Structure 1
Amino acid sequence: MLELWKSIIIGIVEGLTEFLPVSSTGHMILAGHMIGFTGPKADTFEVVIQLGAILAVVVLYWRRLLRLFGIQDAATKAKPGPKMNLIHILIGILPAGLFGFLLHDYVKLLFMPETVLIGLVVGGIFMMVAEKIQPKVVAEDMDAITYKQSLFIGIAQLLSLWPGFSRSGSTIAAGMLAGTSRVAAADFTFIMAIPIMVGASGIDMLKNYKLLTSDDLLFFVVGFIVSFIVALLAVATFIKLVGKLKLTYFSYYRFALAAVMLIYIWMGL
């Protein structure tokens, strides 16, 4: 049986970073490299615990998700102006979903510490640029996001196929460049992540489920639960702070992490 402490560590890393603009994939690759948890089974485990993080978003946004399917409360019906619908989500996930499906095996070749460091730095620069040159905000909340803005965010999500770049980092920054507020971009990013992550996780699980045995069940269940609980706390906290926290702060963290890991790799630790 795989060691449960590794399950807990990777579950915490996934839960903390999945929806923050720091790249959960990059963090799991680096963490797995450091604790000696790599290979096909490790890749499958990372996919399973991502579903735990996704479930956290479903729990936090369940009312908003129901509204996408026309189930609305009195307050929502009375709210004037445009409302985000399933077409916005489809437009947002289509570019990355299509290219991710077609290039899935090639993208997996990039899953190594060295490429993650590049993604961390370049993604951090992209986020700093978004903060620096953000145009006038025309969409204060996600209900005001247009189809054009959804497409721009969806195209930018292609950048997240490079491990270390960060799905939330690329989409929140793109939303800001398209004229959405940081809060609107973050909310849209979280909801848009649900179908695209479920799809990506489903593909991986179908390809690798034969690697799993009954002895691995406890290891995977523990990782899933840890990822769900930590992601629930992380996302709830980020939602409250996203309006005040500039992406630049996360960029500094990314640069620092890349520098530390570069030294770690260079020294052959």
Structure 2
Amino acid sequence: MELLIAIILGVVEGLTEFLPVSSTGHLILTGFWLDFVDERAKTFEIVIQLGAILAVVVMYRKRFIDLFSLKQTEGGLSLMHIILGMIPAIVAGFFLHNVIKTYLFSPYTVVFGLVLGGIFMILADVKRTASVTSNLDDLTLKQAFSIGVFQCLALWPGFSRSGATISGGVLLGTTHKTAAEFSFILAVPIMVAASGFDLLKSYKYLAIADIPIFAVGFIVAFLVALIAIVTFIRFIERVRLIPFAIYRFILAFFVWMILF
């Protein structure tokens, strides 16, 4: 039964981590329905998030090699873009971490996050400017930092990190694809830092007997995330953000009906 739960949560994480629908919200809701909500479950969620992160590293391995290359030339996406994009969320997350974990990780708060995030995504699609940044290498440092500021909205579970960053990028004049790709790459250091911090606090809940379900969840999340990333990048310019916003509203409605 636990292996089945690991597979289900791995699929949920892999499908939703990089789509603008909130993986954290989906994991909270799925864990709630599966009655998998103890401290070990929280540690499990951290581990499968690392599986999804690995998928991005594999997909964009050339980008990451270039970013850390000593031969990196001026122009194009650089480490400075990533650092500037990380700073706002790191600062906000450091000061608000305990508040978020204590008060915002529940199905009730996720419902509000889904709705608010969906509204923001619609506004981004409606108010978007004529795209002037159609390639990652054309992204400015100011845009990178500003997208990082928008990323802070995702500290509310259910809002969606990718939804916040992609919407922010679109409002700042990037194409949906460019915003999505920067969101994916920016996710790696942010999620490694956040997951590593959480793992240090909860590693005591790990046991040798849990290795099979943690391994299964990690591998499933990795494989599903690979498929989700490729599919999303192919279709984001065509479908944009509004369909994902509508899905969020529908999900929020059903969850609200169940909870209340």
Q: 2:113: which partner in 1?
A: 119
Query: How large is the Cα RMSD of the aligned pairs?
Result: 1.4
Q: Which residue of 1 aligns with 2:161?
A: 167
When the two structures are aligned, how many residues end up with a matched partner? 259
Per-residue deviation at 1:102?
2.3
In 2, Cα distance between equivalents of 1:136 and 1:163: 31
In the alignment, what sits opposite 2:211?
Answer: 217
What are the Cα deviations for residues 9-44 of structure 1, in whole angstroms up to 9, with x where unaligned? 111000000000000000000000111110211111
Could you say which residue in structure 2 is the equivalent of 1:242? 236
Q: Which amino acid aligns with 2:125?
A: E
Partner of 2:86: 93
Aligned twin of 2:76: 83
Q: Within 2, Cα distance between the matches of 1:43 and 1:195?
A: 20
Deviation at 1:137, TM superposition (A): 1.2
One of 201, 205, 227 as aligned partner of 2:199: 205
Q: Distance in 1 between matches of 2:98 and 2:212?
A: 28
Amino acid at match of 1:14: E
Per-residue deviation, 1:71: 6.8
* Partner residue in 1 for 2:226: 232
Provide the C-alpha distance between the structure 1 equivalents of 2:145 and 2:54, rounded to a whole number of angstroms.
Answer: 25
Q: Distance in 1 between matches of 2:237 and 2:171?
A: 16
Q: Which runs of 4+ in 1 moved over 4 A?
A: none
Give the Å deviation of 1:64: 1.1
| Deviation string, structure 1 residues 215-247 (Cα, Å, up to 9, x no partner) | 111110010001001001111111111111210
Aligned to 1:51: 50
What is the CA distance between 1:190 and its match in structure 2? Answer: 0.3
> Gaps (5+ residues) in structure 1?
none
Q: 1 CA distance for matches of 2:251 and 2:32? A: 14
Aligned AA for 1:66?
A: I
Offset of 1:82 from its aligned partner? 3.2
Which residue of 99, 108, 112 corresponds with 1:106?
99
Q: Give the alignment's TM-score, normalised by structure 1.
A: 0.93
1:70 corresponds to which letter in structure 2? S
> Among residues 180, 184, 188, which one is paired with 2:182 in the alignment?
188
1:136 shift after superposition: 2.0
Identity of aligned residues (%): 52
User: Which residue in the other structure is 1:177 paired with?
Assistant: 171
Q: Which ranges of structure 2 fall in alignment gaps of 5 or more residues?
A: none
Which of residues 252, 257, 269 is equivalent to 2:251? 257
Of the three residues 119, 132, 135, the one matched with 1:138 is: 132
Deviation string 1:140-171 (CA, Å, 9 cap, x unpaired) is 11111111111110000000000000000000
